[in-house]
Amino acid sequence: MEPQIYILVVEDELEVMDALVNDLEKFEDTFPVETANTSEEAKRVTEQIYESGGEVGLILCDHVLPGENGVDFLISLQSDDRSQKSRKVLVTGQAGLEDTIQAINNADLNYYIAKPWTREKLHEVVVDELTEYVIKQEYDPMKFMSVLDSIRLADVIRSGRITDR
Amino acid sequence: MKLSIKQFYGLILGIIGLIIPFFLNIEGLSEAGHVALGIFFLAAAFWMLEPFPIYATSVLVIFLQVILLSKEGFLFQSATETYTPDSYTAFMGTLANPIIILFLGGFVLADAAVKYNLDKNLTRLLLKPFGTKPAFILLGLMVVTGLLSAFMSNTATTAMMMTVILPIIAQTDLKDPMRIGIALSIPFAANIGGIATPIGTPPNAVVIGALSQQGVNIPFGEWMILAVPLVIIMLIFAWLLLLFMFKPSTDTIALDMSGKFNKSKNALMLYGIFVITVFLWVTESFHGIKSAITALIPVVFLTLTGVVSKDDIRKLPWEVLWLVAGGISLGISMKSTGLAEWIVTSIDWSSFGTLMLILVFSAVAILMSNFLSNTVTATLLIPLAVSLATSGIAGEGFSLIIISLVIGVSASLAMMLPISTPPNAIAMSTGSLETRDMAKAGFAVGVMGIVVIVVYALFYWPLIIN
């Protein structure tokens, strides 16, 4: 059985958070969305997810946060095996070049979405990243075909993951 | 490891089933037959309710037979009046049975084909002549799927075809019923197409393995002569059915046919070996080179040339080979201990005519395999049919080959539910159709399947075999 895979959104501005969560509604059934306003809270939330046997498949993170900033938070996740494999996306308008380079080099940043985002772009990135996650973790592709990139998942099956029986 | 309730019952039933015969004294059944009955119960419970993966049960079956029934086992070190034990090599040898080697050859070819995108490019090439009209596109999809799944696994073929049809489905109007028709056409054609050749799908291997134990050798080409006409009829029927049930509301469909054949040295080598192998298989009856021997050609030359790498070999679906070997192995002891014959004689067959027998076996096989693995269905039914035919109980005209074919073919024609076959499950998981669509269409295919099988078994197969 696959563990429950969560999407984590870290964002301090309530309106922006609402908009993001709203745009993620389509994924909610398969990938429950958890939210945090600060990196501190985000760490608590991920810990709870791990304790319940779940995994964080994707983290959408703002850069400018009260306390520790988004890039530093993402870098801190690299030191834990469980969060290292999570797909990491910065959703921000204010990360400077220096921070962004940091995130790419040290946090294995998978994508950078510039604010304001469009719903289509967000969906595209979420689908791509979670598809990558599911494939890398070798989870049953069939469970995710209706929400994620079904063509890529079918290709995984084609190369022998599932066989006649 | 956590078991569901169903699996838990399977585990308990299997263990009880294994033990009980040791405490019974069944009249007319040899001592060894009791042991074999226990193993049969365990295998049936484990395979049907799946407390363990089915391939794991298969090796367990081989193991139990070796330690309980072979000459080197604990119970029968010398022959008794009623039982002459086989050597352990007979049971273990099933893992290298010619039919297993034939499958291995098929796996290596198919694996290389996927690696070099031969399957995708062939699909594009073959789909071109079918134009842009929905009805013909649907036919084209089914013909190509059927053709490929005759040589590749049904599952891999379905997965590959999904990458072709998903873009089509995404373009069509949400209300166009054709979406469902297209989504169903692929698993249906893959299930049906698997019947066409010995390597098309594992139940065929179970049938061929069981027959070869009876000294009946079915050459590759002869299997095709027996099976292909049935496959064609069923494909045409399924095509018309899907057209009728899910009438397309558009006039044209745009297919993306772009894509180039890989022309690297390795890919060319693969194409060559592919053509040679398939040619030798299909013409087996003319030159007499056994298909299992031919199967070594791709294994040998694709590895010698590095077209298939060590990693590719590791990724082959070895568990399918275990599954088939376990099935063949179970048949050995069911026959040699007299168990199969005992089961058969305990039913009064004389009231059945040949027609009735074919009908019953076909219907039971289709029903079972809608819920169980196709291979398991064939494995559990074949020993009974073989005994029925060889013991002469069913009377003259009840042919061993025909009844085996009936079971093998029927096992592949079950496609009512997502759990019926992996291709069905894949189509279902794309989210483009509902279970009731599949159930309705799959039911019609199943019923038509029984009719076609009965007609073939009575009129066509006897012509070819005799």
Q: Could you read off the pLDDT of B325-355 as tens digits, one per residue?
A: 999 999 899 888 988 888 888 777 777 778 8
H helical segments located in chain A: 14-23, 39-51, 70-77, 81-84, 97-106, 119-136, 150-156
**Which one is predicted more confidently, B171 or B379?**
B379
The pLDDT value given to residue B242: 96
The pLDDT value given to residue A135: 94
Domain that holds residue A146: 5-161
Give φ, ψ of A27 to 5 degrees. -95, -15
Cα distance between residue B190 and residue B360, in whole Å: 25
Please say if the pLDDT value at position B293 is more than 80: yes
E strand or H helix at B443, and its extent? helix B435-455
Helix/strand/coil for A59: strand
Q: Which residues of chain A have pLDDT under 70?
A: 1
Cα distance between residue A20 and residue A117, in whole Å: 9
Task: Give the best residue of A29, A134, A149, A164 to mutate against chain B (max B CB count within 10 A).
Answer: A164
The pLDDT value given to residue B395: 64
Nearest residue on chain A to B379, judged by CA atoms?
A: A165
The shortest CB-CB distance from A165 to any of B115, B315, B375 is to: B375
Say which CATH number the domain at A109 has: 3.40.50.2300
Please say if the pLDDT value at position B84 is more than 90: no
- Say yes or no for a CB contact (<8 Å) between B422 and A159: no
Structure tokens at B6: 């169903």
Cα distance between residue B205 and residue B323, in whole Å: 10
Q: Which band of pLDDT confidence, cut at 50, 70 and 90, is reported for residue B88?
A: very high
Q: Which band of pLDDT confidence, cut at 50, 70 and 90, is reported for residue B397?
A: low
Cα distance between residue B63 and residue B71, in whole Å: 13
The pLDDT value given to residue B78: 83
Query: What total of structural domains would you count in chain A?
Result: 1
- Say yes or no for a CB contact (<8 Å) between B163 and A155: yes
Among B8-12, B45-49, B388-392, which is the least confidently predicted range? B388-392
How many angstroms away from the CA of A6 is the closest CA of chain B?
A: 20
Within 10 Å of residue A67's Cβ, how many Cβ atoms? 12
Please say if the pLDDT value at position B264 is more than 70: yes
How many angstroms away from the CA of B149 is the closest CA of chain A?
A: 11
Q: Which band of pLDDT confidence, cut at 50, 70 and 90, is reported for residue B436?
A: very high
CA dihedral B11, B17, B22, B23 (to 10 degrees): 110
Please say if the pLDDT value at position B396 is more than 70: no
